[in-house]
Amino acid sequence: MTTFSAAGCGVGQNQLANSGPFLQLFGSNFMTHVSHNSQLPLVSIIIPTRLRLHFLQLTVDAIRAQTYHNFELIVVADGHQQDVCAYIQSLQDPRITYAASQFAGRPSVVRNFGIRLAKGEFIAFCDDDDLWLPDKLATQVAFMEQRGIDFCFTAAGVIDADGNKIEQPAIGYRRKISLAWFLMSLGDNIYPSTIMLRRKRLDAIKLFDESPKLRQGEDYEFFARFLEISPGYGIDQELVLYRGHSGSIQERSVMRWFHNQLNLQKALYRTKSFPRSVLLVRLLRVFYWMARISTAALSMSVQSKIRMLNVRLFRT
């Protein structure tokens, strides 16, 4: 890993190409400014970002508004982004640092880069378009400290691209979750922006899977491996606002969903300690939901065509 400090953000393409597998940019002396309050554990917050400065600014504003102040925020760009670097410097907030990895196009690579830089006792992730409610960090730190647990997550509300709340039940699981239960699910019960985990437990497992085939589902695979060493506990409070929009990696067709699930299944099988019987049932569930979703999609398509035909007949 090649690193260097920079008072400014200017980085030429030749510097980027010659920087080795990773590049870090620091707007100030990195990590020398973090306040280690003996009474408050330090939380390292990692935001992976790529070409979404407008959403990122809203996300950073929400984090700066936290009632829990002892945190370091590491904004990691997937490839150097001049505008993001300049924005972070303009904040002049010693808790916030900009870093950049070489472009990978995969959240796993960027998150791992941030984890390696993190100094906190706890680690939290936030996607660059999601928002935290003000008590998110304070609630989770208190919850984990009081119970002595290593992994927790919260419920989340849903907003659209303009930040308008979508009226629907909160998403995310809100109870204790075991490895077997989690593997039986197909996702959408633990969202990366809601989690907090204890940093020292990461020494027992590898970080996010950086395989190019696992561009989506890398968080699910990582959470499964973490649950193998520690159960997860949900907080039944809506402390995160998840943004759904066309630029989200979650936007997908039925076939893309099926393809991603098969890639995820292969990644889960590579973890030899996962129960094979549970993984087999999970695979059967993938095929079941694929058939069910495809049937529903086909039915909607047929109904739409019938309506169009009826309109044409009526007009004639």
**pLDDT, tens digit (0-9, with 9 covering 90-100), for 96-107:** 999 999 998 889
> Domain range holding 83?
13-252
Whether 204 is in a domain gets the answer yes
The DSSP code for 199 is G
Whether 261 is in a domain gets the answer no
Output the pLDDT for position 29. Answer: 39
Output the pLDDT for position 108. Answer: 92
The DSSP code for 131 is E
Whether 156 is in a domain gets the answer yes
Query: What type of residue sits at position 267?
Result: A
Decide: 3 and 19 in contact? Cβ < 8 Å.
no
Whether 201 is in a domain gets the answer yes
Which residue, among 33, 218, 36, 204, has the nearest Cα to 121 in the 3D structure? 36
Output the pLDDT for position 298. Answer: 64
Output the pLDDT for position 245. Answer: 61
Residue 19 has pLDDT above 50, yes or no: no
Three-state DSSP class for 175?
A: coil
Instruction: For residues 190 and 307, give the distance between their C-alpha atoms in angstroms, rounded to a whole number.
Output: 39
Decide: 122 and 44 in contact? Cβ < 8 Å.
yes
Helices marked H in the chain — which ranges? Answer: 13-17, 53-64, 82-91, 107-117, 136-147, 179-184, 218-229, 254-270, 276-315
Whether 22 is in a domain gets the answer yes
Instruction: For residues 140 and 41, give the distance between their C-alpha atoms in angstroms, rounded to a whole number.
Output: 11
Which residue, among 172, 162, 161, 163, has the nearest Cα to 247 in the 3D structure? 161
Lowest-confidence segment of 66-70, 119-123, 290-294 by average pLDDT? 290-294
Lowest-confidence segment of 40-44, 64-68, 124-128, 288-292 by average pLDDT? 288-292
Residue 296 has pLDDT above 90, yes or no: no
User: Helix count (H) and strand count (E) of the chain?
Assistant: 9, 9
Residue 30 has pLDDT above 70, yes or no: no
Number of domains in the chain: 1
Element (H, E) at 99: strand 96-101
Q: What is the pTM of this model?
A: 0.81
Three-state DSSP class for 271?
A: coil
Output the pLDDT for position 147. Answer: 95
Decide: 241 and 133 in contact? Cβ < 8 Å.
yes
Instruction: Pull the structure tokens for residue 1.
Output: 């890993």
Whether 314 is in a domain gets the answer no
Q: What is the pLDDT of residues 177-214, one digit of tens each?
A: 889 889 888 877 889 999 999 999 998 888 998 988 78
Which residue, among 88, 72, 92, 204, has the nearest Cα to 151 in the 3D structure? 204
Q: What is the pLDDT of residues 247-267, one digit of tens each?
A: 554 445 778 888 888 999 999
- pLDDT over 70 for what percent of the chain? 79
Output the pLDDT for position 113. Answer: 96
242-279: buried (b, 16+ CB within 10 Å) or exposed (e) per residue?
A: bbeeeeeeeeeeeeebbebbbbbbebbeeeeebeeebb
Output the pLDDT for position 260. Answer: 86
Which residue, among 270, 57, 239, 93, has the nearest Cα to 154 in the 3D structure? 239
Instruction: Pull the structure tokens for residue 6.
Output: 């920079």
CATH code at 131? 3.90.550.10
Residue 12 has pLDDT above 80, yes or no: no
Whether 306 is in a domain gets the answer no
Whether 177 is in a domain gets the answer yes
